[in-house]
Amino acid sequence: MNPRCDWAKEQIEIDYHDNEWGVPLHNDRKLFEFLVLEGMQAGLSWRIILNKRQDFRKAFDNFQVEQIANYDIVKINELCSNPFIIRNKKKIETTISNANAFVRIQKEFGSFDTYIWNFVRYKPIQNSWKTYKD
């Protein structure tokens, strides 16, 4: 087993750490999901987001980027009144804006995966850090 980072304390964080965090990903829907969740996390703890993850999936149409790119004011208001997700209107509007940018990238590069992995020549960067101070 790989060493576990200090931030993974609760079971939901441990499961995320051990099964998802740092694992190479090549699925556009999942990449968009993480983009949205990371944006929603700004100023909050990752634990809060992980605990709301299923609610985010339901509220945001399972992160189907084409659907989200077409959200209108009615959908924005619905999301802003959903007590199970982060209801910050700016974060919701940014999610829609990011969905539109994501779709444009998919059209230009064939997939978001191709676009993003090109920056590291399609190989994960493996750092040799021993401690958090490194």
- Catalytic position from the list 16, 21, 115, 117: 16
93 is annotated as an active-site residue: no
Residue partners of 81: CB distance under 8 A and separation at least 6: 87
Largest CA distance in the chain: 49
Q: Is there a catalytic annotation at residue 78?
A: no
CA 119 to chain centre: 18
The gap between the terminal CA atoms of the chain, to the nearest Å, is: 21
Interaxial angle between packed helices 46-59 and 28-41, expressed in degrees from 0 to 180 and rounded to the nearest 10: 130
From 10, 20, 38, 78, active-site residue: 38
Catalytic residues: 16, 38, 46
